[in-house]
């Protein structure tokens, strides 16, 4: 039977989940992603933000139609809500994950 010490190590190896500062987010090792995985994750989160923001905007316009009785222009949801939200989230995730990838490359290099 093995014993774990107070600091979360087992025979010198870390057994407890890592925190924010070490490139882990909710236990996911974001700091260990390669370049392709970093780009893939960033674009996936950007697309998800685009679709989520567009969905919320469509629902808001549907409520507006139900209350006012006039037909809104639903292209507003894509142009002025979904696209800016997707671009902002894409830029933020590329910056964050790209920084983690660059730090990892500089540490190894």
Nearest to 90 by CA among 44, 27, 56, 26: 44
On whether both 10 and 57 belong to a single domain, the answer is no
The two tokens of residue 108 are: 């190894």
On whether both 73 and 102 belong to a single domain, the answer is yes
Burial of 63 (0-12, 13-18, 19+ CB in 10 A): exposed
For the segment 28-53, the average pLDDT, to the nearest whole number, is 91
Q: Which domain holds residue 19?
A: 1-31
pLDDT in tens, 50-106: 999 999 999 999 999 999 999 999 999 999 999 999 999 999 999 999 998 898 889
Cα 97 to Cα 42: distance, rounded to the nearest angstrom: 7
Residue 8 scores a pLDDT above 90: no
Q: How many domains does the chain have?
A: 2
pTM of the model: 0.74
Least confident of 8-12, 43-47, 87-91, 94-98: 8-12
């Amino acid at each position: 039977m093995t014993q774990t010490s107070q600091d979360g190590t087992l025979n010198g190896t870390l057994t407890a989940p890592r925190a924010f500062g070490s490139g882990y987010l909710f236990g996911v090792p974001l700091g260990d992603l390669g370049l392709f995985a970093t780009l893939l994750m960033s674009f996936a989160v950007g697309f998800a933000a685009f679709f989520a923001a567009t969905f919320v905007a469509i629902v808001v316009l549907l409520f507006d139609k139900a209350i006012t009785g006039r037909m809104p222009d639903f292209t507003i949801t894509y142009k002025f809500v979904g696209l800016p939200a997707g671009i902002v989230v894409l830029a933020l995730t590329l910056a964050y994950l790209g920084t983690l990838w660059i730090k990892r490359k500089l540490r190894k290099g």
